[in-house]
Amino acid sequence: MTDTPTSAQHLRIDGERLWRSLMDLARIGATPKGGVCRLALTDLDRQARDLVTQWARELGCTVRVDAIGNIFMRRAGAREDLPPVMTGSHIDTQPTGGKFDGNYGVLAGIEVLRTLQQHGIVTQAPLEVVVWTNEEGSRFVPVMMGSGVYAGAFTLEHALSARDRDGVTVSQALSAIGYDGPEPVGGQPVGAYFEAHIEQGPVLEARDRVIGAVQGALGQRWFDVEIVGQEAHAGPTPMELRRDALLAASELVQAVNAIALEHAPHARGTVGCLQVFPDSRNVIPGKATLTVDLRAADDATLTRMAQSLHERARALAGDGRLAVTLKEVVYFPPQPFDARLVQAVRDGAQALGMEPLDIVSGAGHDAVYLARLAPTAMIFVPCKDGISHNEIEDARPEHLAAGCNVLLHAMLQAANGHALAAEKAHAA
């Protein structure tokens, strides 16, 4: 094989081959409705891991598995002393998952390696395709487990001791499927990390764009809220004398929506759960509990949104007839991605004749944790009607191919740029 960077500018992946790989993987855990149920560290997950690693070995890749089950499929570079340029995602799914969430990111990486192998191109830095363990968090908590341990967000011991509903630990499940690897988790330098993904939202489709250049991921603050009033008979109790917890909760629900609208366009505010006590037709509710999910692209905005929520909660309790308690249960700071890599995604899209859309990720991805360790960027492509985490999740083959082509050229740019940077640093 030879290093031919000039001809590499004209490389294109095989879109039909990428689609076939996605469909082959989707057969493992296929559901009657056309989706996929392949929970983390089940035997179906083992079968999927075995298939993907088989494809990597057929390309001459070395395969390493670490102690949390993350898989690293490495294609050697001309300069093995350089840190690898990584790409990847996950292949575990939701119980009613689709064919593309996560899977696309892994198989787009495999298709990049196949394309380079087909054309005899060796990059300067090595390339690695990664399968991260338990990204979805459907069977085990925390979510984004493999990348989280890799980035030091939580300890290996904490992750291995997590249990599913049947009491099975992550450690036991990894051993059962043969993916309790010998490699230590993390600790190695990463030159750059890219993750291709379906958007899981409607923005690209609504704007008629094929490529999203992801600037970063929204920060998240989650709250559990309890409102306590007093239950009373719905008939004899006059309206002005009621201590209606549900009425106050309904005002807070509207306030959450208003707070997000006040910080448009990237803010989000959601009340996903609401319970009422005593939940009787003719009793004024004496207690209501609800969840609040606030998201924003920068920490200052997220802080202002949380402050507004607290202010509106205090106002509801202002006359003393209600007690309102807010407890913060999750905080993920916003995570910006590397400006140079984001620009590489934009450049790749434009070179293919497409105008990229700058976009933010409203969901969590493994890239959020990798960005703590290395320059990171994501490439979004549309999904039909913005639907994901659903068996009807769908994406157009030509869009998936376009995103993979952008990934190919972004990885080539990063992998071949490492050598130049290293030489300059040595000369200095």
Q: What confidence tens digit (pLDDT) does each residue in 262-298 have?
A: 999 999 999 999 999 999 999 999 999 999 999 999 9
CA angle 242, 247, 250 (to 5 degrees): 170
Domain ranges in the chain? 5-217+334-427, 220-332
Q: What confidence tens digit (pLDDT) does each residue in 104-118 have?
A: 999 999 999 999 999
Q: 5-217+334-427: which CATH number, 3.30.300.30, 2.40.50.140, 3.40.630.10, 3.40.50.300?
A: 3.40.630.10
Separation of alpha carbons 211 and 357, rounded Å? 6
SS3 157: helix
DSSP bridge pairs for 290: 225, 274
Q: What confidence tens digit (pLDDT) does each residue in 45-91 have?
A: 999 999 999 999 999 999 999 999 999 999 999 999 999 999 999 99
The DSSP H or E segment spanning 290 is strand 287-296
Separation of alpha carbons 398 and 409, rounded Å? 17
Q: How far is CA 300 from CA 51, 113, 115, 134, 359, in A?
A: 45, 41, 43, 31, 19
Separation of alpha carbons 61 and 59, rounded Å? 6
Q: 220-332: which CATH number, 3.40.630.40, 3.90.79.10, 3.40.1010.10, 3.30.70.360?
A: 3.30.70.360
- Write down the pLDDT at residue 329: 87
**What pTM value is reported for the model?**
0.88
Separation of alpha carbons 254 and 243, rounded Å? 19
301-334 burial code (b ≥16 CB/10 A, e <16): bbebbbebbeebbeebeeeeebebebeeeeebeb
